[in-house]
Amino acid sequence: MTTTELTAPPGVRKEERRRRGRTGAGRQMHAGPVTYVVLTVFALVSLAPLVWTAIAASRTDGRLAQSPPPLWFGGNLFKNLESAWDEAGLGTAMVNSVVVAGTITVSTVLFSTLAGFAFAKLRFRFSNLLLLLTIGTMMIPPQLAVVPLYLWMSDLGWSNQLQTVILPSLVTAFGTFFMRQYLVQALPTELIEAARVDGASSLRIVWHVVFPAARPAMAVLGLLTFVFAWNDFLWPIIALNQQNPTVQVALNSLGTGYVPDQAVIMAGALLGTLPLLVAFLLFGKQIVGGIMQGAIKG
Amino acid sequence: MSSSKQALAHPASSAEAAPGTPPGAARGAHGRGNPAGPDSWRSRLYRWDMKASPYAFVTPFFVLFGAFSLIPLLYTAWYSLHDVQLSSLDHQTWAGLDNYKNLLSSDFFWNALENTFTIGLISTVPQLLAALGLAHLLNYKLRGSTMWRVVMLTPYATSVAAATLVFTLLYSWDGGMVNWFLHFFGVDPVNWRESDWGSQFAVSTIVIWRWTGYNALIYLAAMQAIPADLYESAALDGANRWQQFRHVTIPQLRPTILFTIVVSTIGATQLFGEPLLFGGVSGSKGGSEHQYQTLGLYMYDQGWIIGNLGKASAIAWSMFLVLLLVAAVNLLLTRRLRKSQ
């Protein structure tokens, strides 16, 4: 159903946009005070659990079991962060997650751009069929892959090694689809034709024409992929254990441990989320733009 | 698929000659644009490049995608027809439909199915309604509009694991924030982890918290694509803001709403991390009475805690069939809705 929407002739949307521009503010009415109040409530609900995580991480386990719960910071933050980093293995986990999510991001962006370009601008046999296959399988739950993956990785003797979680995530159907949607509109066909006439090989065209045109979308896809890979849960907790964890695996062992120290658990949750919060602080605008862009088109 | 047809019809317009023309024929006839000059092997190479490169570009994607997504899908079906035990992976014996029969006669399976449905419903419906309202507010001209959007999206940056650990503490029976807050309204402490509806409600709130902002942004994007003159003519007809929202915004958003329903349904069907970590030590059981054991959790429990991978495969495929069924119902309902209007 989304595909029909997606492939609406590009001109239509531009036309709409122009009309909106002509009519000035259009739908954009100025927000009244009530709007700001309600938005502030939404914002508080969004942020409060994160702020409270930091508060809880600065207290002791004993204090967290008492009522009323602490509403302000205590003095144990660094001690708890240290315990989480060393004893709970968050330190190793952070390094592992950077390696895993970094590799997955580079590979997804690269291969998605190549495949997306081919689907958007090149003509080849079965291209429509292959694209349909890609879209159709975008929504299959990961549960349908984990049993065979587990058996294969055991056969290879790879259990608990990072490649077990890297390999299956090196490309996503979403990535290819996302890049295709972007390049259909953003890459002028004449540009490729001109390069061809000048005798450029396909690889040169990819390097000098496609990559520069695709750069904004590649950046957004990279951010989205990194968030996704960093937070991936099901397969990593099956494939890895506490000996060699990613952040999510370490958090899982923290949460299901038999002697839980809630303050240390909160410190772990804070550490594991911090890199993405920093990324949102720096690139929030791009991430928001990417999600909204993906929404109109998909 | 119309747009893929606007692909290069004749990429190398003049110089490289139509496919099938012998390389020699092109020689000298077209000076400009034939970098290969008189070297026929070059122009052959060039044409080979034109033909082969699309395949070269999609190959890495499809090799990786096929090997780790498509082929496992089929293997899961294969294993679901076998007896595969975690303790003896080398001994896989044919079991026919035993795993599926086993499931259909298991109370835990039906319980998990019901829980998945209930939690899915009470997490998806409020989430999408709230997202719609939030998008409407974000669509006003706001001071610092980007900041508001980023703030609403921060829960999305929080992983399932981190969010669930935090919410579990917020919902703890003694000293939890939620129960402390409720006591101001004279409500006795609720045992969120043990009670039937309480635990399901708590798990749902984690999902709602993480995804409302994300869905709001998707709605917002669609709202901004609605042509302004639709609102202008509605206003001329005397429609107030609520009527405009009801009669212009909602109908225009219908494809997007359908899209978010489908995506949320898929997410709800595979719900796993939230109930697992909410349960703490006995997480894979989904509570002492299995009161929040979802299908995803049941599969993990049977496969990697009990060690019956054949049965786990059957659960995975049941999940897929449920999903297809839900998608079909969705499609049917929207078709009927469209017809009735």
Query: Could you tell me which residue, A237 or B40, shows the higher pLDDT?
Result: A237
Our CA-based measurement puts residue B282 at a distance from the nearest CA of chain A, in whole angstroms, of: 8
Cross-chain Cβ contact A53/B276 below 8 Å? no
3-state SS, residue A145: helix
Predicted confidence at residue B37, as pLDDT, reads 52
Of all residues in chain B, the percent with pLDDT exceeding 90 is 53
Predicted confidence at residue B287, as pLDDT, reads 85
Interchain contact A129–B (C-beta under 8 A): no
User: Is pLDDT at B10 greater than 50 in this prediction?
Assistant: no
| CB-nearest partner of B140 from A35, A197, A238 | A35
Cross-chain Cβ contact A53/B166 below 8 Å? yes
Interchain contact B222–A (C-beta under 8 A): yes
Predicted confidence at residue A43, as pLDDT, reads 96
CA-CA distance, A292 to B153, in Å (whole number)?
12
3-state SS, residue A32: coil
83-122 of A, contacting B, C-beta below 8 A: 111-112, 114-115, 117-122
Report residue B209's pLDDT band, with 50, 70 and 90 as the boundaries. very high
Predicted confidence at residue B36, as pLDDT, reads 47
A175's tokens:
């990535």
In a domain, A199, yes or no: yes
User: Is pLDDT at A226 greater than 80 in this prediction?
Assistant: yes
A133's tokens:
């296959």
User: Is pLDDT at A4 greater than 70 in this prediction?
Assistant: no
In a domain, A202, yes or no: yes
3-state SS, residue B279: coil
pTM attached to this predicted model: 0.85
Is the bond preceding A68 in cis, omega lying within 30 degrees of 0? yes
Residues 6 or more apart whose CB falls under 8 angstroms from that of A206 comprise A114, A117, B57
How is residue A298 annotated by DSSP?
-
Which stretch, A194-203, B46-55, B100-109, has highest mean pLDDT?
B100-109
In a domain, A58, yes or no: no
User: Is pLDDT at A77 greater than 80 in this prediction?
Assistant: yes
Query: Could you tell me which residue, B337 or A296, shows the higher pLDDT?
Result: B337
DSSP β-ladder status, B82-85 and B88-94: antiparallel
CA-CA distance, B291 to A17, in Å (whole number)?
50
Chain centroid, CA A208 distance in Å: 27
Rounded to two decimals, the ipTM of the complex is 0.86
Quick check: A227 and B157 in contact, CB under 8 A?
yes
Query: Domain total for chain A?
Result: 1
Predicted confidence at residue B5, as pLDDT, reads 37
- Among A125-134, A288-297, B160-169, the minimum mean pLDDT is found in A288-297
- Among A249-263, B154-168, B313-327, the minimum mean pLDDT is found in A249-263
| CB-nearest partner of B165 from A46, A145, A251 | A251
User: Is pLDDT at A298 greater than 60 in this prediction?
Assistant: no
Predicted confidence at residue A86, as pLDDT, reads 87
Predicted confidence at residue B43, as pLDDT, reads 82
∠B305-B169-A251 over CA atoms, to 5°?
A: 45
190-219 of B, contacting A, C-beta below 8 A: 209, 213-214, 217-218
Q: Which residues from chain B sit within 8 angstroms of residue A5, using beta carbons? A: 255
Question: Closest residue of B to A26, CA-based?
Answer: B228
CA-CA distance, B203 to B71, in Å (whole number)?
33
Interchain contact B181–A (C-beta under 8 A): no
Question: Inter-axis angle of helices A247-255 and B160-170, to 10 degrees?
Answer: 20
Predicted confidence at residue B15, as pLDDT, reads 38
CA-CA distance, A16 to A9, in Å (whole number)?
12
User: Is pLDDT at B19 greater than 50 in this prediction?
Assistant: no
Dihedral in degrees, nearest 10, Cα atoms B232, B233, B234, B237: 120
Our CA-based measurement puts residue A217 at a distance from the nearest CA of chain B, in whole angstroms, of: 17
In a domain, A84, yes or no: no
Of all residues in chain A, the percent with pLDDT exceeding 70 is 88
Interchain contact A193–B (C-beta under 8 A): yes
Our CA-based measurement puts residue A266 at a distance from the nearest CA of chain B, in whole angstroms, of: 7
* Residues B60-85: tens digit of each pLDDT: 999 999 999 899 999 999 999 999 99
Predicted confidence at residue A139, as pLDDT, reads 77
Predicted confidence at residue A28, as pLDDT, reads 64
3-state SS, residue B36: coil
In a domain, A251, yes or no: yes
User: Is pLDDT at A12 greater than 50 in this prediction?
Assistant: no
Of all residues in chain A, the percent with pLDDT exceeding 90 is 60
**Mean pLDDT confidence for B221-230:** 90
B210's tokens:
């993480």
In a domain, A268, yes or no: yes
Interchain contact A288–B (C-beta under 8 A): yes
**Mean pLDDT confidence for A50-72:** 89
Predicted confidence at residue A199, as pLDDT, reads 84
- Among B28-32, B161-165, B216-220, B240-244, the minimum mean pLDDT is found in B28-32
Interchain contact A268–B (C-beta under 8 A): yes
Report residue A64's pLDDT band, with 50, 70 and 90 as the boundaries. confident
**Among all chains, which residue has been given the structure tokens 């949750």?**
A269
In a domain, A82, yes or no: no
CA-CA distance, A206 to A200, in Å (whole number)?
10
Q: Which residues pair with B83 in a beta bridge?
A: B93
CA-CA distance, B36 to B17, in Å (whole number)?
13
CA-CA distance, B182 to B94, in Å (whole number)?
55
Cross-chain Cβ contact A251/B162 below 8 Å? yes
Q: Which residues from chain A sit within 8 angstroms of residue B65, using beta carbons? A: 134, 137, 171, 173
A147's tokens:
């049993």
**Mean pLDDT confidence for B270-286:** 88
Residues B243-277 as b or e (16 or more Cβ within 10 Å = b): ebbeebbeebbeebbbbbbbbbbbbbbbbbbbbbb
Cross-chain Cβ contact A26/B228 below 8 Å? yes
CA-CA distance, B95 to B101, in Å (whole number)?
11
CA-CA distance, A106 to A94, in Å (whole number)?
18
**Among all chains, which residue has been given the structure tokens 């709202």?**
B223
Predicted confidence at residue A258, as pLDDT, reads 66
In a domain, A161, yes or no: yes
Report the candidate in B296, B70, B305, B68 with the shortest Cα–Cα distance to residue A163: B68
- The answer to whether the Cα torsion of A214, A219, A223, A225 is positive or negative is positive
Predicted confidence at residue A196, as pLDDT, reads 87
CATH code at A196? 1.10.3720.10
Domain residues for the domain of A94 are 90-297
* Interface test mutation site (partner B, options A63, A123, A165, max chain B beta carbons within 10 A): A123
Quick check: B209 and B131 in contact, CB under 8 A?
no
**Among all chains, which residue has been given the structure tokens 């044409």?**
B47
Report residue A40's pLDDT band, with 50, 70 and 90 as the boundaries. very high
Interchain contact A219–B (C-beta under 8 A): no
Residues A104-142 as b or e (16 or more Cβ within 10 Å = b): bbebbbbbbbbbbbbbbbbbbeebeebbebbbeebbbbb
Q: Which residues from chain B sit within 8 angstroms of residue A247, using beta carbons? A: 159, 161
Residues 6 or more apart whose CB falls under 8 angstroms from that of A171 comprise A107, A108, A111, A112, A115, B60, B61, B64, B65
B178's tokens:
């939620």
Q: In chain B, what are the domains?
A: 17-80 (no CATH), 99-340 (1.10.3720.10)
Predicted confidence at residue B38, as pLDDT, reads 55
Predicted confidence at residue A9, as pLDDT, reads 38
Note every long-range contact of B85-94, with CB atoms under 8 Å and residues 24 or more positions apart, other chains counting. Answer: B85/B307, B85/B308, B85/B309, B85/B310, B86/B303, B86/B304, B86/B307, B86/B308, B86/B309, B87/B307, B89/A151, B89/A154, B89/B309, B92/B310
A77's tokens:
């933050």
**Mean pLDDT confidence for A228-251:** 93
* Interface test mutation site (partner A, options B1, B4, B82, max chain A beta carbons within 10 A): B4
| CB-nearest partner of A171 from B64, B255, B323 | B64
Average pLDDT of chain A to the nearest whole number:
86
